[in-house]
Homo-oligomer: A and B are copies of this chain.
Amino acid sequence: MKRYFPILSWAPSYGRATFEADLVAAVIVTIMLIPQSLAYALLAGLPAEVGLYASIAPLVVYTVFGTSRALAVGPVAVASLMTAAAVGEIAAKGTPEYLGAAIALAFLSGLMLLAMGVMRLGFIASFLSHPVISGFISASGILIAASQIKHLLGVSASGKTLPEILGSLWHNIGGINPFTLIIGIAATAFLFWSRKGLKPVLQNLGLSARLAGLLVRAAPVVAVFLTIAVTWLFGLEGRGVHVVGEVPRGLPVPALPPLDLGLWASLALPALLISIVGYVETISVAQTLAAKRRQRIDPDQELVALGGANLAASFSGGFPVTGGFARSVVNFDAGAETPAAGAFTAIGMALATLLLTPALYYLPQATLAATIITAVLSLVDLRAIGHTWAYSKGDAAAMVATIVVTLVSGVETGISAGVGLSILLHLWRSSRPHYAVLGQVPGTEHFRNIRRHRGIEVPEVLSIRVDESLWFPNARFLEDTIYGHVAADPAIRHVVLNCPAINFIDASALEALEAVNAQLKDSGVKLHLSEVKGPVMDHLVRSDLITHLGGQVYLTHFDALSALAPARTRETLELPRCETAR
C-alpha cells in the first residue's frame, strides 16, 4: 500500500514541527507561484486563470502519490512553450477549442505517464541523453525569452521558431508602446537586479542570509504589485498598456476533457514529448534534492504521481504540469519536509484564486513577460557546449544539433531530433565496441592486448577479446572483425573468443556467433570460447551454439592456448617476463 500511496509512509507520523516547516515553505512557494502560474498560462497562450487552476488540484494529487519530499509541481516554462506549440497547430488562440485542446493535452499526458508508471517504464527517461536535454532546455529558454519580447514592447508578433519570432518583431517594431516599454524594461531590470543585488541589501537591513535568500524569491510579487498600482493610478490601460483583464473569480469547476478521438490522435505525439521532457525534468530535480538528504525516490512511482497530477490538471480545467526546478529548490531551501507542503501551497493558490483575482485586472502583461524572461534565461547554459566538447565531441555535436534544430524548427522537431540523435549516437558507439587481439605475456599465464603490451601470438590461433556485451548493434561488427582477421591470415586454424567482459549476449549476437561458427567450420577453422561468465553460460547452454561449436569452451584463456598450441604456450611460459610496452 505504501508503495502505491507514499503518503501513508509519512502522514501517520506527521507532527507539529513538520507542519510548521511545511507551512513556511508553502507560503514562500505560493508567493513565488502566483505570478509564475499567470505568466506560464500567458506563455501557453491560455487565459490567466488556467495557470491558477493548474496550481491547485495537481499539487494535492502529488502530495498523495509522490515520493519526493520537496518536489513542487505546477506549470513550468518549457512545458508551457510545448503546449503552445502543440495546441497552436490545432486551434486559434483565444478560442474555446484552444483551451479544450490544452486540457486534452494534459489529460493525454497524464494517461501516458500513468500507464508508463503502472508498466514500470521509468527507463523511458533514458531516451534522452543529458547533453541533448540540456541543449533542448537552453534552446527553449531562448525561444521563450524571444517570444516574450513583444509583451515588453507592446507590439504584436508571432512565430514558433527564432527566425519567425525575430522577423515578426522586426516587422512590427514601429508599433512600440512607450508606456508598456517603460514598465517592461523597469520590471525586467528590477527582476534581474533582485537576483544578485537584493540579497546583500536585505542582509544589510539585518535579515539573516537564509531569510534574505528566500525573500528574494518574492521579488516578482513585488514587481506585480508595483506595476498593478502604477497602471491603475495613471490609467495606463487607456494608453495602450495590455493588462491581464477580467479573471473569473472562484475555484475551477470539475469537468471532463473534450472527448474527441480525432483531437486526441493529433495531440498524441506532442503529449508523449511533453510527458518525457516533463518526466526527465521532474526526476532530475527530485533525485537531486532527495540525495541531499539521503532520501529515496521511486522513479516508477513518480511517473504515477506526475500522471495523476496531469489528470487532475485536466479535470480542473488546467494545462500540462511538471515538477519545476527553481520552485522545488525554493521549497527545499525553505525547509519543506514532506509533500504536505504541496497541499498547503494548493490551499494558498486556491485562496489567491478566490480573493486576489479582482486585483489582477490591472496587471500589465509586460510584468508577466519580465517574470518569464528572468526565469527562463537562467535555464540557458551555452557554456555547457564547451564543457561537453572538451569531454566528448559526439555528445557536444548532438547538443549543438538539438539547439539549432529547436531554434530554427521549433520545440517538437527539436526534441524529436534530440531523441533521435541520442539513440543514434548510442547505437553508433554500441556498434563499434573496443576489442583486442591478445598475445601471451612472456613468463606468465596472462594474455594482453598486443597493441598495448608485448605479447606473443601463436600463428595458427587468433585470440580476440571483445570488451562489451554482444547485442544487435555490434553483432555485425563481431562477424566483420572475425572474418576480417581470418581472411587476412590464411595460417589461422583456431579462433578463441575471450569473453570476460561480455555480460550479455542477445539473440542477434547469438545468431551472429552461430553464423561465425558455421562459416569458420566450412573454411576449416574452429571457434572456441574462453572465460565465459556464469550467467552468460547459463544462457548459452539453452542455445544450439554450444552443441554445434567447432571448438571447445575453456575455463581460462591459458587453458585454451595450452590445448591448441601446447608446445608454443609452454615455451612462452618459460621466457623471461618483460612487460615493456611495444
- Interchain CB contact (< 8 A) of A501 among B503, B512, B522, B544: B503
Q: How far is A271 from B290 in the complex, measured between Cα atoms in Å?
A: 48
- Across the interface, do A123 and B431 meet the contact criterion of CB distance under 8 Å? yes
Interface string of A467-494 (1 = CB under 8 A from B): 1110111111101100110110010000
- A446 interface contact, C-beta 8 A: no
Shortest CB–CB separation between residue A395 and chain B, in angstroms?
Answer: 4
Question: Contacts of A125 on B, CB cut-off 8 Å?
Answer: 476
- A156 interface contact, C-beta 8 A: no
- Across the interface, do B126 and A431 meet the contact criterion of CB distance under 8 Å? yes
Q: Which of A235-292 contact B (CB under 8 A)?
A: 283, 287-288, 290-292
- Across the interface, do B519 and A291 meet the contact criterion of CB distance under 8 Å? yes
- Across the interface, do B503 and A472 meet the contact criterion of CB distance under 8 Å? no
Q: Which of A271-322 contact B (CB under 8 A)?
A: 283, 287-288, 290-296, 299
Known: A467-B503, A507-B131. A542 touches B390 (CB 8 A): yes
- Across the interface, do B519 and A129 meet the contact criterion of CB distance under 8 Å? no
- Across the interface, do B472 and A469 meet the contact criterion of CB distance under 8 Å? no
A contact residues, total (Cβ < 8 Å): 78
- Interchain CB contact (< 8 A) of A508 among B129, B506, B523: B129
Q: How far is A534 from B516 in the complex, measured between Cα atoms in Å?
A: 31
- A351 interface contact, C-beta 8 A: no
- Interchain CB contact (< 8 A) of A129 among B422, B428, B429, B507: B507
The residue on B at minimum CB distance from A390 is B542
- Across the interface, do B126 and A503 meet the contact criterion of CB distance under 8 Å? no
Interface string of A520-535 (1 = CB under 8 A from B): 1011000000000011
Q: Which of A328-351 contact B (CB under 8 A)?
A: none
- A128 interface contact, C-beta 8 A: yes
Q: How far is A522 from B130 in the complex, measured between Cα atoms in Å?
A: 22
Question: Contacts of A291 on B, CB cut-off 8 Å?
Answer: 479, 483, 515-516, 519-520, 522-523
- Across the interface, do A434 and B506 meet the contact criterion of CB distance under 8 Å? no
Shortest CB–CB separation between residue A422 and chain B, in angstroms?
Answer: 6
Question: Contacts of A516 on B, CB cut-off 8 Å?
Answer: 291
| Copies of this chain in its oligomeric complex | 2
Shortest CB–CB separation between residue A122 and chain B, in angstroms?
Answer: 8
Question: Contacts of A510 on B, CB cut-off 8 Å?
Answer: 391-392
The residue on B at minimum CB distance from A484 is B296
- Across the interface, do A473 and B390 meet the contact criterion of CB distance under 8 Å? no
The residue on B at minimum CB distance from A127 is B427
- Across the interface, do A430 and B426 meet the contact criterion of CB distance under 8 Å? yes
Question: Contacts of A391 on B, CB cut-off 8 Å?
Answer: 507, 510, 539, 542-543
- A433 interface contact, C-beta 8 A: yes
- Across the interface, do B468 and A126 meet the contact criterion of CB distance under 8 Å? no
- Interchain CB contact (< 8 A) of A475 among B126, B394, B428: B126
Known: A123-B427, A427-B123, A542-B390. A129 touches B292 (CB 8 A): no
Q: How far is A465 from B123 in the complex, measured between Cα atoms in Å?
A: 21
- Across the interface, do A434 and B503 meet the contact criterion of CB distance under 8 Å? yes
Q: How far is A433 from B126 in the complex, measured between Cα atoms in Å?
A: 13
Question: Contacts of A471 on B, CB cut-off 8 Å?
Answer: 129, 426, 429
- Across the interface, do B432 and A123 meet the contact criterion of CB distance under 8 Å? yes
Could you pull out 17 A-B pairs where Cβ atoms are within 8 angstroms? A125-B476, A126-B472, A130-B508, A130-B511, A287-B479, A287-B483, A288-B519, A291-B523, A390-B542, A392-B507, A392-B539, A423-B423, A426-B427, A426-B430, A426-B471, A426-B473, A429-B504
> Beyond the given A291-B483, A392-B510, could you list 4 further A-B residue pairs with CB under 8 A, ordered by the A residue number?
A123-B477, A129-B472, A130-B475, A434-B535
**Closest A-B pairs by Cβ, 6 of them:** A395-B507, A291-B519, A129-B472, A130-B508, A126-B473, A123-B431
